[in-house]
Structure 1
Amino acid sequence: MKKNSLPRASRGGFTFIEILVVTTIIAVLMAVGAVNFRTANQKARDGKRQGDLEEVRAALELYRTEVGSYPLSLTFGGSLSQGGTTYMEEVPNDPLDDYTYYYSSDGASYGLCASLELDTTGTCAGASCGTGITCNYQVENPL
């Protein structure tokens, strides 16, 4: 009784080693792609944070020009308005729920802070941008 009439080289299919090598290559490519995707998302959120703070800065400067001082408090998610004039329809919130923006003012100057995910070298006078999250990016009023 013949088990197999074809020579070994003629049989179709892949060896276990070939399948293992291809699987390993695919896993490595997926890991690299996942890391790049995560970094891209962090960069996008950091860019949004910086853009948000610049928009708030512009609204604060317009407010100061018309009112004569900066607001003493700012409600993120609310509007920035005074005496029937709205300077910003909705003051933006941080793109992540666990993070918050920080604002402090004495009327003559202000500090506006956020916590960037990728650039952690800056400081914001020890301000908190969420539970256990230190702010590391600051926008101040121009002198």
Structure 2
Amino acid sequence: MLEFLTAHLPEKFFLDTSAFIKNRKGFTLVELVVVIAIIGILASIAVPRFLEATASARGAKIVADMRTIESAVIIYYAKEGKYPATAVKDTASAQTAGFIGANGMLNAWPVPPAGKANIKYANDPGSNEVTVVDGTPYTYDPPAADGTTNYSIAMNGKTLEELQNKTASK
């Protein structure tokens, strides 16, 4: 059937078409616009995911820092038989309390990353978005002398459990 349709066309018709395609140099404006549009669509999909990943990484660092401080408190208790008695909010006060130094458990007091952070709890699909202002410290508050309260580790006045929405954060 194809032979019947092309039989009446001269052979030169097919040669000219292929010669035209081979001699083309560059792209047409339409081709360039289509490629730019496709790149724009892909970028609009990728950028929000990148920003979400950055916020999740900040949240993971906050959780890891607060757990590191908690581990240091537990190790201090195991070594000394008591919790550190001094409140801590920076490297200088951490050194005074015994967290940092020759017998200390930390090299430096951690500093939270500035910006928006998504803090998640285990495999819970929801997350708690927290905005951390540059210079916000983690704080350690010692237990009460009469034993009525336990120690607390917080950021912006919220414990890790509150940041992860495990307890009411009001």
User: Which TM-score band applies after superposition, normalised by the shorter structure?
Assistant: 0.5 to 0.7
Structure 1 residue runs without a partner (length 5+): 1-5, 116-126, 130-134, 139-143
Partner of 1:37: 50
Q: Cα deviations across residues 30-81 of structure 1 (Å, max 9, x unaligned)? A: 2322222222222222112111111110111122331513434113334451
Q: What are the residue-to-residue correspondences of 1:1-143 with 2, within 5 Å?
A: 10=20, 12=24, 13-65=26-78, 66-78=80-92, 79=95, 80-81=97-98, 85-96=103-114, 98=134, 99-107=136-144, 108=147, 109-114=150-155, 127=157, 136-137=163-164
Amino acid at match of 2:98: S
Name stretches of at least 5 consecutive residues in structure 2 with no aligned partner: 1-15, 115-132, 166-170
For these two proteins, the number of residue pairs brought into alignment is 115
Secondary structure in 2 aligned to 1:73? coil
C-alpha RMSD of the superposition? 3.4
State the alpha-carbon separation in 2 of the partners of residues 84 and 37 from structure 1: 41
**Post-superposition shift, 1:93?**
0.9
Aligned-partner SS, 1:71: coil
C-alpha distance in 1 between matches for 2:85 and 2:137: 19
Q: Distance in 2 between matches of 1:114 and 1:75?
A: 10
TM-score normalised by the chain length of structure 2 = 0.52
- Larger Cα Rg: Structure 1 or Structure 2? 2
Per the normalisation by structure 1, the TM-score is 0.60
Which amino acid in the other structure matches residue 91 of structure 2? Answer: G
Q: Which moved more, 1:59-68 or 1:47-56?
A: 59-68
